[in-house]
Amino acid sequence: MSRTADVTRQTKETRIELRLSLDGGERAIHTGIGFFDHMLTALAFYAGWGLALSVQGDLEVDGHHTVEDTGIVLGQALARALGDKAGIARFATAFVPMDEALCRTVLDISGRPFLVFEAEMPQEVIGGYDSCLTEEFMRALAVNAGLTLHQRALYGKNAHHITEALFKSLGLALKEAAAVKGEGVTSTKGVL
């Protein structure tokens, strides 16, 4: 079974084309925000995904619509690629240290979207990327993929390091949770 999805979304603020393969492939990511491209590349690498992403957003306003809408589309693609979720591990936890920062991601591919995000950013801007947008991306991803997602920066002094550890730990946790470990759905209800 192919665990892939293609999603296109067009609004007055953004145009996004995305192709996701949960089982690997090349990564080509262009959002117009260099640091965000770097974070999405790290996420896809540690998740073991192939990801082709092209975003044209209203960056003359700011990066908010680009980042949030990318989370929406990536979440939709993830939900589609997982299909009925038969056989997936479902739950995962990952810790990632990045120099002085340590971050944790715990998630459940539950179909019940929820975000707990506890990560103070010491600097407001990282290379033209507003650090507050990380929470917006994670919320959009969780809601549209149906994830229960908990992320916490246990400590850190550099917003770049904290953000990178959050994206990398998310990738590692998604790789583990989406891995096919059996045949049936991992739920006492029989469905997710």
The answer for residues whose C-beta is within 8 angstroms of residue 171's C-beta and 6 or more apart is: 42, 43, 44, 45, 46, 47
Confidence of residue 186 (pLDDT cuts 50, 70, 90): low
pLDDT per residue as tens digits for the range 159-180:
999 999 999 999 999 999 999 9
Asked if residue 191 belongs to a domain, the reply is no
Question: β-strand 148-155 against 114-118: which pairing, if any?
Answer: parallel
The CATH number of the domain holding residue 107 is: 3.30.230.40
- In the predicted model, is pLDDT for residue 187 greater than 90? no
Query: How confident is the model at residue 184, as a pLDDT?
Result: 72
pLDDT per residue as tens digits for the range 23-78:
999 999 999 999 999 999 999 999 999 999 999 999 999 999 999 999 999 999 99
Asked if residue 20 belongs to a domain, the reply is yes
- In the predicted model, is pLDDT for residue 147 greater than 80? yes
Q: What pTM was computed for the model?
A: 0.95
Asked if residue 185 belongs to a domain, the reply is no
Asked if residue 31 belongs to a domain, the reply is yes
Asked if residue 15 belongs to a domain, the reply is yes
Asked if residue 192 belongs to a domain, the reply is no
pLDDT per residue as tens digits for the range 75-115:
999 999 999 999 999 999 999 999 999 999 999 999 999 99
How far apart CA 109 and CA 146 sit, in angstroms, is 6
- In sign, the C-alpha dihedral spanning 64, 65, 71, 75 is positive
- Mean pLDDT for all residues in the chain: 96
Q: Are 159 and 119 in contact (CB under 8 A)?
A: no
Q: Are 153 and 174 in contact (CB under 8 A)?
A: no
Q: How many domains does the structure of the chain reveal?
A: 1
Asked if residue 151 belongs to a domain, the reply is yes
Asked if residue 184 belongs to a domain, the reply is no
Which residue range is the domain that position 54 belongs to? 4-178
Query: How confident is the model at residue 182, as a pLDDT?
Result: 84
